[in-house]
Amino acid sequence: MRQRLSVETYTKGVLAGDRSTLSRAITVMESSLPEDRKLAGAILQNILPYTGNSVRIGITGVPGVGKSTFIEAFGSYLTSLGKRVAVLAVDPSSKQSGGSILGDKTRMEKLARDPDAYIRPSATNLSLGGVARHTREAILLCEAARYDIVLVETVGVGQSETLVKGMTDFFLLLMLSGAGDELQGIKKGIMEMVDAVAVNKADNGNEPAVTNAVAEYRQALHLFPETASKVPVQVVACSALENTGMELIWNLISDYFAQTTKSGFLEQNRQFQRIEWLREQIRQSLEDRFYENEWVQKHIASADEAVRNGEKLPEDAAGELIEMFLRSGNAFNG
């Protein structure tokens, strides 16, 4: 394991915007070692006063929509405006190793070379919905390192959209045209969460199909209730390949940010997200302590076996293990 730095060194490096120190600090956040968790807490406490000043944007999309190409084009457009952009690209994890399968830096070569951009691929470690467990902490570190915009890319499966919505200010859905009935591709749960829809690949003669898709999505959105922010969901066309539509998308995000800041929704939403983070941390900490408990470790294999063979209901087996955990003397120590 690479030698850890002092809390002060991490703090100074992050606040100075040093990429290497930022990467090392995020590595500490992602570690499950007890000493690293303590170090992570100290770093976060130090940088907390310098967080909260970025625009947090979640980006998801259907398979094949070209998320990485879009993020590279959009990120490059933002840096051309003088913005500093951080991309937290969450990769699926290998079930064998738990490691990252994809490599976003290889998929965003131009943006990775941009001095005003920072790309951090993170393995999910098989956490719920494909969102890395410590993405929220990484967002705060990037903000403390003075990145103006933080883009969080989801893997677009399971509940990742819900989780990313719960840690960002603006949620963008990328869609395709020409894949049959456009409304077939709409998942109601996602459409109720998004703040804008961008129909990508408006290029190579595909413009008419994209125009039709935009019209259909706009029509479909009339069926959905008013958003919590009270800002209407926008539908636009873009081409990541030809770098068109990037200015339009940034303008609507900027307008949304201005409106929700003025109405107070932005701060209310962030306060709600912090409470949700607290609840999630409680759940995760309890789960960690449960599986680390020596009595649970001794008896969980037999519980698994009983459930596998149909001798015991999962609810009953879980209840017995939890009771054992609560009665053990060291259940809540540490």
Model pLDDT, residue 225: 86
Cα–Cα distance, 130 to 132 (Å, whole number): 6
- The two tokens of residue 297 are 């470790």
Model pLDDT, residue 222: 83
For the chain, how many residues are written? 334
In this structure, how many other beta carbons lie within 10 angstroms of the beta carbon of residue 110?
Answer: 11
In this structure, how many other beta carbons lie within 10 angstroms of the beta carbon of residue 67?
Answer: 23
Model pLDDT, residue 187: 62
Biggest CA–CA distance in the chain, Å, is: 69
Q: Which residues pair with 150 in a beta bridge?
A: 56, 86
Considering only CA atoms, which of 217, 231, 177 is closest in space to residue 200?
Answer: 177
Model pLDDT, residue 311: 96
Domains of the chain and CATH, by start: 1-50 (1.20.5.170), 53-262 (3.40.50.300), 276-327 (no CATH)
Model pLDDT, residue 330: 58
pLDDT 10s digits, 272-297: 999 999 998 899 889 989 999 999 99
Cα dihedral 154/158/160/163 (nearest 10): 170
Cα–Cα distance, 56 to 256 (Å, whole number): 12
Model pLDDT, residue 121: 80
Model pLDDT, residue 130: 36
Q: Is the dihedral of CA 286, 141, 44, 57 positive or negative?
A: negative
Model pLDDT, residue 156: 57
Considering only CA atoms, which of 167, 133, 132 is closest in space to residue 58?
Answer: 167
CB 172 within 8 A of CB 58: yes
Model pLDDT, residue 114: 95
**What letter does residue 100 receive in the DSSP assignment?**
B
pTM: 0.87
In this structure, how many other beta carbons lie within 10 angstroms of the beta carbon of residue 293?
Answer: 21
Q: What is the CA radius of gyration of the chain?
A: 22
Model pLDDT, residue 184: 47
CB 236 within 8 A of CB 252: yes
pLDDT tens by residue, the chain, 334 residues:
578 999 999 999 999 999 999 999 999 998 888 899 999 999 999 999 999 999 999 998 877 888 989 999 999 999 999 999 999 976 544 333 343 434 445 578 899 999 999 999 865 554 443 345 689 999 999 999 999 999 999 865 556 778 888 999 999 999 888 644 444 455 667 788 899 999 998 888 888 889 988 998 888 888 888 899 999 999 999 999 999 999 999 999 999 999 999 999 999 999 999 999 999 889 988 998 999 999 999 999 999 999 999 999 999 999 999 999 998 865 555 4
